[in-house]
């Protein structure tokens, strides 16, 4: 097996275009598991660990950000541990999800770029990226840069929109304009793949709600009907302006709408019925916590 070690982003892109059989490796916490279990035997590994550009994050302000507001440009190779340490303020949902990934060792190695590369429906970064309307920036030496809304990035079970000559450069994540929450259910409290997961983001600046569902459909997905339903009900009741308490019945109805957006399966980790039930509970709780945070901030 060839081991390719570019030291710059440009070199990495050129090697990617020359060697489409090479598997990119960032933290290796998915790639090495597959190689160890002989599930994959690539002709070459393209090690991204020495590409400094991928390990940086920055803030893009004003119209440079996604949707015109400010955004964090998170290099694909920034590990979860740094997201927890550095970005809990601007990206609270992603930081919460990052805290639940694996163990300290996995959080030091594992990256959001790797989570997107694997595109597992159970990946923990996906729900908060969906709820925040993130955009994935990919690049090819041949065709240049593409920016893909994260909801369009997942194309099937463990499949994504990357072309064979493309690499993920970064994720552009709008800076939180309101509270965000992330909930995950597993068979134990730590070091666990999600049985189901849910993220929500309140966007009071545009009276909107964002959602992301994990482990309960072939791909991570938004619950768009639930988003429209809740934002409309809050608007109709004047709650975006008054910041009055969130009616329990509304939180429950939101939970039902979220579960209706899922299409889970029975597998070794949980039944479809349990996944649907747990989504109603997580969505109700998450939105109630987020709304209470919004009221406190008023
Ligand atoms: C013990 C253990 C516990 C875990 N717990 C969790 C958990 O709780 N939650 C969770 O979500 N995941 C978990 N994982 C899975 C894994 O840690 C995550 O998916 C992680 O985000 C992968 O990141 P990585 O940098 O290690 O990716 P890698 O293994 O290096 O790569 C993963 C995939 O992404 C591709 N890739 C990586 N970077 C790029 C790039 N820049 N451009 C294009 N393709 C790229 C690779 O080719 C590969 O297909 C766990 C894994 C282990 C071994």
The mean pLDDT values, 10 residues at a time, for the chain of 298 residues are 97 97 97 96 97 97 70 98 98 98 97 98 98 98 97 98 97 97 93 95 97 98 98 98 98 98 96 98 98 94
**What is the b/e burial string over 92-106, where b = at least 16 CB atoms within 10 angstroms of the residue's CB?**
bbbbbbbbbbbeeee
Residue 44 CA to chain centroid, in angstroms? 28
Concatenated DSSP letters for the chain?
-EEE--SSHHHHHHHHHH-TTEEEESS-TTHHHHHHTTS---SEEEE-TT-GGGG-EEEE-GGGSGGGS-EEEEETT-BHHHHHHH-TTT-HHHHHHHHTSS-HHHHHH-BHHHHHHHT-TT-TTHHHHHHTT-EEEEEETTTEEEEEEHHHHEEETTEES--TTEEEEEEEEEPPSS-EEEEEE-SSSSS---SEEEEEEEEGGGTEEEEEEESSSSS-B--HHHHHHHHHHHHHTTHHHH-PPPPHHHHHHHHHHHHHT-----BTTB-HHHHHHHHHHHHHHHHHHHHHHHHHH-
Contact 31, 115 (CB under 8 A): no
Contact 211, 131 (CB under 8 A): yes
Report the distance separating Cα 219 and Cα 254, nearest Å. Answer: 21
pLDDT of amino acid 65: 59
Query: In a mutational test of the pocket of ligand 1, which residue from 15, 24, 44 has the highest number of ligand atoms less than 8 Å from its CB?
Result: 24
Task: Please report the sign of the dihedral spanned by the C-alpha atoms of residue 219, residue 171, residue 92, residue 236.
Answer: negative
- First-to-last CA distance in the chain? 58
CA of 33 to the centre of ligand 1 (A): 10
pLDDT of amino acid 62: 66
pLDDT of amino acid 235: 98
pLDDT of amino acid 189: 85
CA of 182 to the centre of ligand 1 (A): 19
Q: Work out which ligand 1 atom sits closest to the CA atom of 25.
A: 30
CA of 110 to the centre of ligand 1 (A): 6
CA of 125 to the centre of ligand 1 (A): 10
Atom 11, ligand 1: residue with shortest CA distance? 123
pLDDT of amino acid 68: 72
Report the distance separating Cα 94 and Cα 103, nearest Å. Answer: 16
pLDDT of amino acid 298: 79
Residues with CB under 6 A from ligand 1: 23-31, 33, 48, 76, 101-102, 106, 109-111, 113-115, 117-118, 123-124, 162, 167-168, 191, 193
Q: Work out which ligand 1 atom sits closest to the CA atom of 192.
A: 8
Q: Give the global pTM.
A: 0.97
Report the distance separating Cα 223 and Cα 262, nearest Å. Answer: 8
- Model pLDDT for residues 152-208, shown as the tens digit of each residue: 999 999 999 999 999 999 999 999 999 999 999 999 988 889 999 999 999 999 999
pLDDT of amino acid 190: 87
């Amino acid at each position: 097996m060839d081991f390719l070690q570019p030291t710059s982003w440009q070199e990495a892109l050129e090697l990617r275009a020359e060697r489409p059989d090479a598997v990119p490796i960032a933290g290796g916490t998915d790639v090495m598991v597959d190689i160890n279990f002989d599930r994959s035997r690539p002709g070459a590994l393209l090690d991204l660990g020495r590409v400094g550009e991928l390990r940086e994050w920055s803030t893009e302000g004003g119209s440079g950000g996604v949707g015109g507001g400010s955004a964090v440009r998170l290099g694909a190779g920034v590990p979860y541990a740094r997201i927890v340490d550095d970005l809990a303020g601007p990206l609270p949902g992603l930081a919460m999800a990052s805290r639940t990934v694996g163990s300290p060792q996995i959080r030091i190695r594992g990256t959001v770029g790797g989570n997107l590369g694997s595109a597992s429906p159970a990946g923990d970064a996906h729900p908060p990226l969906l709820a925040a309307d993130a955009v994935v920036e990919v690049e090819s030496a041949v065709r240049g840069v593409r920016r893909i809304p994260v909801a369009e990035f997942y194309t099937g079970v463990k499949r994504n929109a990357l072309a064979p000559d493309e690499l993920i450069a970064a994720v552009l994540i709008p800076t939180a304009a309101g509270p965000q929450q992330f909930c995950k259910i597993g068979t134990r409290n730590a070091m666990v793949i999600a049985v189901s997961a849910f993220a929500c983001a309140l966007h009071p600046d545009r009276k909107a709600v964002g959602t992301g569902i994990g482990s309960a459909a072939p791909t991570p997905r938004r619950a768009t009907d639930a988003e429209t339903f809740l934002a409309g009900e809050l608007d109709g009741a004047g709650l975006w302006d008054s910041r009055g308490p969130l009616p329990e019945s509304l939180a429950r109805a939101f939970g039902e709408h979220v579960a209706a957006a899922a299409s889970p399966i029975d597998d070794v980790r949980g039944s479809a019925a349990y996944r649907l039930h747990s989504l109603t509970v997580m969505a109700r709780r998450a939105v109630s916590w987020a709304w209470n945070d919004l009221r406190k901030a008023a």
